Structure formats: structure tokens, C-alpha cells
Amino acid sequence: MLRNYLTVMIIPQKSGRIVKFEISAFLLKMVTFTLCILALISIGILVDYYLIKGKSRNMKELETAVMLQKISTQKINNILNYRQSELNDLEKFDRKLRLISGLQESATRIRYVGGNGLNEIKNSTAQDGRMLLLKLKKLDLDTKLREISFFQLGAYLQEQKDRLARTPSIAPTAGHIASRFGKRGDPFTGNVRFHYGLDISNREYTPIYAPADGIVDNARIEGNLGLFLVIDHGYNIVTRYGHLAKYEVQAGRKVKRGDLIARIGNTGRSTAPHLHYEILINDQYVDPEKFIFWDK
């Protein structure tokens, strides 16, 4: 029975009353066990507190990093949108130039498979790195395609520059129109006949100028047209001049638009001084007025 109790004695260092009491061994064990449990719980709570504190700090750092990444991504996205807008404007300009020049749409076409490209990117709620990379790659590809298109257009326009220089575009002389291209009454017989040129009346020896670049093919007397001059402009375009008073160039001479080539006369079958002006394209007569930009 005595083994179930412990005797505790408190003896003062100097004089005093000795205190003596007994403690149940079971109670002592329970108290010790409880204190151990409490100590373990306290240690667990303390460890958990530091772990939560560390996670909280990491979360704040992660939130800051995510926020900075969102700002950076949004900034890049805004720049890409602006560049895409500029590229769209260039594409519209490219189409206008092609329409004006008559060049067909570039055959270089690349389509993305499995989506609508920028529309999908705009509709995406999460602007993650993969979508941003896709947009960047597409913008880069579109830019290269536009560069190819402009290079093709530039080469075409350069090629057409010579053709434009050789296409009649100015009035060959000053004066007023006496007779247009088409059916008319013959000034000598009155019968209706087709007039294959444009008659421009003015004083005799009024200068006549080349309406486009070319080479003088021949200068001769041509029956009813009197003194007659022919310029070959290339590209199957030929201009002819009749009723001349004088040649200012000879066969084989290269001429530029605006060069003096002859003077108005009254030779051949003519009622008054005037220039009979003809244009043939692919050996077919065309209305010369369609190739004249009259000065207002």
C-alpha cells in the first residue's frame, strides 16, 4: 500500500518547521502525463504557426509576382494590339495599291488550324504565356507576309513604271476638238463614215508633243493623211499623227513624253490646219480621248 504513495518533505535551510505530505503515485503519473501532452500540443501549435506564417509570406510574394506578371503581360498585350492595328492599316493600304495598280491579291496565304487566331486570344479570360506567345508568333508571321506582299507590289510597280511612261496620257497639242472618235459626216462628201482618230484644230505650225515615251517608227507621206508620223511605244501601243506641216524628229529617234515631234499642218485631205491623232492598241483603234488628261 505504501508503494502507491510518495512522501514529499520540505526542510527549511535554516530553522523552521518541516513540511511533510504524501502524493498519490497515480496522481503524479497523471499530472506528468498531462503536462507532457500539453507540451507536445504547444510544440505542435508553435510549429504549425511558423509553417502558416511561412506559407502566408510565400503567398504574398506569389501574389505580388502574379500581379507584376499580369501588369507586364497586359502591357505586352497592349503593345501587340497596337502593332496588330498598324499591320491591319498596312494591309488595307496594300489592298488599295493592288486595286489601283491592277495587281491581283498576293497568293501567299497561311491559315491557323484549330481556331480563330486573334479572336480566340481576345475571348480568352486567362492571358497566360502560351496565348501571348501564340499571338506574338502570329503577329511576326503576319508582318513577314506583309513585307513579302509589299516587296512583290514594289517589284510589280517598278516593272509597270516603264509601261506607264510608254502609255499615252497627255494631249499631243493645244487647240480645240474639231472631230471626235466615232461615226461622223465626211467633211467632203457628207456621207456617214467612221472616224478613227481625234482631230485637234489650231494654227499651222503649232507644236505637237509626244504623249508618251517611245521610238519614232517612220515619218512619211500617207495619202489622205499627208505628212504622217508613227511612234511605237512598246507593249503593242502605237500613236499616229496626220496632216503635219513639218517633222521635228526622224525615224529611229527615241522620244520622251513631252518632246517636240512635229507641227500642225494642212497636208493631205484636209479642210483646215489640224492634227489627226490616232492610238492603236494590239492593232485595234481606240478612242484617243480616253488616254488624255486634259488640263483644266
Would you say residue 170 lies in a domain? no
Would you say residue 27 lies in a domain? yes
On whether both 122 and 189 belong to a single domain, the answer is no
Number of domains comprising the chain:
3
- Among 46, 67, 88, give the residue marking a domain's end: 67
Would you say residue 33 lies in a domain? yes
On whether both 187 and 276 belong to a single domain, the answer is yes
On whether both 63 and 97 belong to a single domain, the answer is no
Separation CA 48–CA 54 (nearest Å): 10
Would you say residue 171 lies in a domain? no
On whether both 198 and 142 belong to a single domain, the answer is no
- Among 47, 67, 87, give the residue marking a domain's end: 67
On whether both 53 and 37 belong to a single domain, the answer is yes
Are 277 and 241 in contact, with CB atoms under 8 Å apart? yes
Query: pLDDT tens digits for 48-81?
Result: 777 877 777 777 777 776 666 666 666 777 777 7
Residue 262 CB coordination number (10 Å): 27
Residue 281 CB coordination number (10 Å): 15
Q: Residue 227 has what pLDDT?
A: 96
On whether both 99 and 12 belong to a single domain, the answer is no
What CATH number does residue 226 fall under?
Answer: 2.70.70.10
Would you say residue 32 lies in a domain? yes
Residue 244 CB coordination number (10 Å): 27
Q: Domain of 12?
A: 2-67
Q: Which of 11-20, 102-111, 212-221 shows the lowest per-residue confidence on average (mean pLDDT)?
A: 102-111
Which residues on adjacent β-strands are paired with residue 221? 227
Q: Residue 53 has what pLDDT?
A: 74
On whether both 63 and 134 belong to a single domain, the answer is no
> To the nearest whole percent, how much of the chain has pLDDT over 70?
80
- Among 24, 39, 67, give the residue marking a domain's end: 67
Would you say residue 208 lies in a domain? yes
Q: How confident is the model at residue 274 (pLDDT cuts 50, 70, 90)?
A: very high
On whether both 62 and 78 belong to a single domain, the answer is no
On whether both 180 and 257 belong to a single domain, the answer is yes
Query: pLDDT tens digits for 123-154?
Result: 444 555 677 677 777 777 777 777 777 777 77
On whether both 188 and 278 belong to a single domain, the answer is yes
The predicted model scores a pTM of 0.52
Nearest CA among 191, 279, 266, 294 for reference residue 233: 279
Residue 153 CB coordination number (10 Å): 17
